[in-house]
Structure formats: C-alpha cells, structure tokens
Structure 1
Amino acid sequence: METHRIETSQAAIAASDTGGSGPVLLMIHGNSSCRKVFRNQLEGTIGKAFRCIAIDLPGHGESSDAIDPERTYWMPGYADAAIEVMRALDIPKYAILGWSLGGHIGLEMLTRSASITGLMISGTPPFARSDESLGAGFKPSEHMSLAGQDALSEQNVSDYAHSTCGANAPFEPFLSDAVARTDGRARKLMFSRILAPESVDQQEIAVNSPVPLAIVNGEEDVFIDNDFIAALPYKNLWEGTVHRLPGIGHAPFWEAPSQFDPYLHRFISSL
C-alpha cells in the first residue's frame, strides 16, 4: 500500500493507493470521517482486484485544512479537489465509490469530469434542489444536527462517530478521532450551502446519470429514507434496482464487508 500526499489548489490531500494495473476505483468517505473507513476494502479482495485510491477530503483525516474554506468546504469544492488528485496521479479513467457525503461529491463530479466510468453511492439520498426534497431524502435522527455543527463536545464526537458507522457495526477509536480531527468549518459551510444554485441538482444528475449508477444501502440506515431513494425514476441504474442490505446501518462497507464487497466487485467488473 502506497501513501501519497498530493498538493492541490484546495488542500494537501492524503491518499492510500493499492497499486496494481486493474481498473481504478476512487473511494470518497463521508462527513467527518476519513479514508481509513475503507480499510476492509483496501486490505481485502477489492484492493487486490482493483487499483483502489482512497482519499482524505480537505479538512479531514491526514489531509490539510482547506487553503480557502469558503471555496473548498462544499460539494463543488470537494469535487474539484478529488478531480485534481486523479489528474495529478495521471489516471484518465476511474470509477467512484462514494459514501454519504462522498456519494454527493461523486454526483457533483459527474458534471465536472468525463473520466468517470461508473459511480456507486451508499447512504446518499439524491435530493432535488429544494427544502422539501432534502427533507424527504433524509430522516430525522437523534444526531443528524451534529453533521452541520462547527464545534463538537467530546460527547458529540462519540455520538456522531457511533451513529454514522452503524449501531451494530464494529467500533474502533479512529472513527471518533476522525470526527474530532475534522475542521468544524467543513461541516458548517457544507450544510449552509447544501442547496446552493452553484451545486448540481443531485436528483437530476442521479436520474439522468451519464454512467452506470449503483446504489447499495443499509436497510437500517438511520439517516436516509430508503423508500425515497428507491422511488426515483433512474435511467441508468445498475442492475435496475436499489440494493438494500437487511439489518445493516449507514456504512455497510464497514459494518458488513462480506455482504457489501460482492456488490462492489460485481459493479466494477461490469464496467
């Protein structure tokens, strides 16, 4: 496993790279997490079969805070940073696995790069640019408000880390460390502009995706409305269905890699 530190116009980005000559998969984590959450895939059969590149978003993990927070800490800024990383690595074509915020970033990237061959999202409701749609895509949950909060108490950090990884998922200290490390401005600024007109209409691009769109969610995800996601009239939905993993929460690739990874392997292979 190789580690890169890539200077971009947004931030210095830390990335793990499994190497190899197989199809390339870019892995983008969620809000207040880090690339270590993809450890099971990076170190398992997925990392052996494909060249997996997992990045820490600006203001997260081992990446630096944003050079210009107003420019970077929202979906267009994150998308541009990820695209810069792949250009710096001289990778012309790649698929994306985006979890939660990472899935929203992946949808944003579809309008900004012709290099993407396919996108798998997990825990990511494709909402239209309206308060009504945003409210329909996300379910009220005990710790949802923390996702857009600048300063977090020690208890907030623990609560958010446990809820995002899944109530029944394995828990390791790095999950809390990632929340505590995250630049609080990243949470606040991203949520304050989540419906900004400069961002892509997430629902429109998901429904009309120019590349195969795979959706694999945990059935017991406390943050998203699976029925809302499944009801959208996708035109390029991989295998023609939104896959739901029973008994699994918000991070199925972390909680149940033995169940999630076959979907990911099959999707990348199909591209």
Structure 2
Amino acid sequence: MIETSHAGIAVTQSAGEGPPVLMIHGNSSCKEVFRNQLDGQIGAAYRCIAMDLPGHGASQNAANPEKTYSMPGYAEAAIELMRELGHDRYAMLGWSLGGHIGLEMLTRTDAISGLMITGSPPVGRGEEQLSAGFLPSEHMGLAGQRDFSEAEIDAYARATCGINAPFEPFLREAVARTDGNAREMMLGSFVRGVGANQQEAAVNAAVPLAIVNGGAEPFVNNEFVAALTYRNLWEDRVHLMEGIGHAPFWEAPDAFDVYLKRFLESL
C-alpha cells in the first residue's frame, strides 16, 4: 500500500529486474486482471507494477472524490504513485479506462517511454466524440452508473472481460467493491470534456503508441481507431486479435504477450 495525496494505493510488483512497466486496469476492475503478465515471462523480464485505482480493488476510496475521480485525477494519482516508487521513466500498458488514463498521462508527464493501449479508443472531448469511438451497448450504459444490482454486477463483470474469456470470482468481486462515485463521477466528467483531448494526445504522441485491440471488441469502434492518422504508431498499424473481445491480455494472454514483449523490447 503506497500512500498518495489521492488515496492509499495498492500495488503488486513482479519479480523481474528489467525496466519498469506500469499496468492500469479498466473501470470497476482491479490489478489482478494482469495476473498472467505479472506471473509469466513478461513479469520475469520486467518490473511490472499493477495498481488498483483509487476506489477500486484493495486501494482506498478517494480522499477527495472531486479531485481524483476523473481522467486528470487518476492520471495524477498514477504519476504520483510511480514517483513514490522511485521510477522516473517507465512503459505503460493500459486497458479500457486504464488506456484512457495513459493517454491523459502523456499530456502530463515526460516519464512515459511508451504506451500500449487496449480497448481504449482515442476520442476527442465531449459526448459526440465519445459516441464516435464507442459502440452502443447496454453494458456501456453501466459504465457511469453509481449503484449496481446483483444482476448488473454479474453482467458487467462478464461482459467487460469477454464472454469467451475465463471468468473467476475476483472479477465479480472487483465490480461489487468499486466505489460507485468513481464510476459516476469519472464518466460524467469525461462526457463533459474534462481533461486532455485524447485523440490529439494519441495522434501527436511523442513516444511510441501501441494499439492492440480485440477483433471482436463489443464496446470499441475499431474502424474509428484505425482511421486516425498517428504520428508515432508502433509498427505503423493498429493490431487486431481476431475473435478476441475487450480484454485480450486476459482472454488470450499467450497471444497478447507476443505483442507486449515485442513492444517493450522495441523501447
């Protein structure tokens, strides 16, 4: 548990002694979703650091929700965490909300050596831009809902990780534990355009930006993501994993880690 000005933040670190890699999970999830990377070859080679966002997992709820539960707030919390851990340069893997936080971080720190995002369409500001980057879905409607019924907890946990992905109790527990204020306030501020223009951040990234999405992504408009013209897109293409859903690193870790390993080596 690392104390920050936002909350006590729970982290898990792999045993690897290579360069640090920060991993940030999605909305209403937790750091354990990166278990396969932490416990596998990636974690053995690199110092992988998976954090629970404030209001999620084993981290504390935000001390000041207005300050923390937004893209800028989460980005500043992650930057502060890495500074507390003594890392002034690190790569990042961000999934869904975590990828959006990574894009926000690109506009706030020079510490990131490269960013890989998955399930995170680089959208501009405002509701119209969000609609272009995301596909309509009943589960997307839950992303900003404060309170969940038992059925909604189960449905959201299963849908976000992929209907064909392994399902374990911790995934449901993470949704049930999440501070409802975190969902409601984060999405509300995102819709209002609070924070960086993430499309501009992605298109103009000064460091390599890798995009690896599931080809059967139920939430993200992959055509929108591929149509943008990026200044620094890793391997000059958006990678799609055929038949894989919203969390490819969890659903198909062996296949996903081929991309992640290659990306980290390239940095």
**TM-score scaled by length of structure 1:** 0.97
2:238 equivalent in structure 1: 242
**C-alpha distance after superposition, 1:193-230 (max 9, x if no partner):** 10445400000000000110000000111110000000
Aligned-residue sequence identity (percent) comes to 63
Q: 4, 9, 14: which one pairs with 2:10?
A: 14
Of the structure 1 ranges 197-206 and 41-50, higher mean CA displacement relative to structure 2 is found in: 197-206
1:123 aligns with 2:119: yes
Residues paired across the two proteins, number: 267
Q: 185, 209, 222: which one pairs with 2:218?
A: 222
Task: Verify the 8 A CA contact 2:23 2:49 in the aligned structure 1.
Answer: yes
What is the rounded CA distance, in whole Å, between the counterparts of 1:49 and 1:22 in structure 2? 6
The CA RMSD measured in Å over matched residues stands at: 0.8
2:190 equivalent in structure 1: 194
Q: 127, 150, 154: which one pairs with 1:154?
A: 150
What is the rounded CA distance, in whole Å, between the counterparts of 2:199 and 2:139 in structure 1? 24
What is the rounded CA distance, in whole Å, between the counterparts of 2:6 and 2:108 in structure 1? 16
**C-alpha distance after superposition, 1:42-71 (max 9, x if no partner):** 000110011100000000000000000111
Of the structure 1 ranges 16-25 and 115-124, higher mean CA displacement relative to structure 2 is found in: 16-25
SS at match of 1:247: coil
1:24 equivalent in structure 2: 20
For residues 40-59 of structure 1, the aligned pairs below 5 Å read 40-59=36-55
Q: 264, 268, 271: which one pairs with 2:260?
A: 264
What is the rounded CA distance, in whole Å, between the counterparts of 1:54 and 1:74 in structure 2? 19
1:86 equivalent in structure 2: 82
SS at match of 1:23: strand
SS at match of 1:33: coil
What is the rounded CA distance, in whole Å, between the counterparts of 1:65 and 1:9 in structure 2? 12
- What 5-or-longer segments of structure 1 have no aligned partner? none
What is the rounded CA distance, in whole Å, between the counterparts of 1:20 and 1:236 in structure 2? 28
Q: CA deviation at 1:112?
A: 1.0
1:105 partner letter:
I
Task: Verify the 8 A CA contact 2:14 2:49 in the aligned structure 1.
Answer: yes
Q: 34, 47, 60: which one pairs with 1:38?
A: 34
Of the structure 1 ranges 142-151 and 160-169, higher mean CA displacement relative to structure 2 is found in: 142-151
SS at match of 1:215: strand
What is the rounded CA distance, in whole Å, between the counterparts of 1:30 and 1:183 in structure 2? 14
2:248 equivalent in structure 1: 252
**TM-score scaled by length of structure 2:** 0.98
1:164 aligns with 2:173: no
2:61 equivalent in structure 1: 65
Q: CA deviation at 1:129?
A: 1.0
Task: Verify the 8 A CA contact 2:16 2:46 in the aligned structure 1.
Answer: yes
SS at match of 1:97: strand
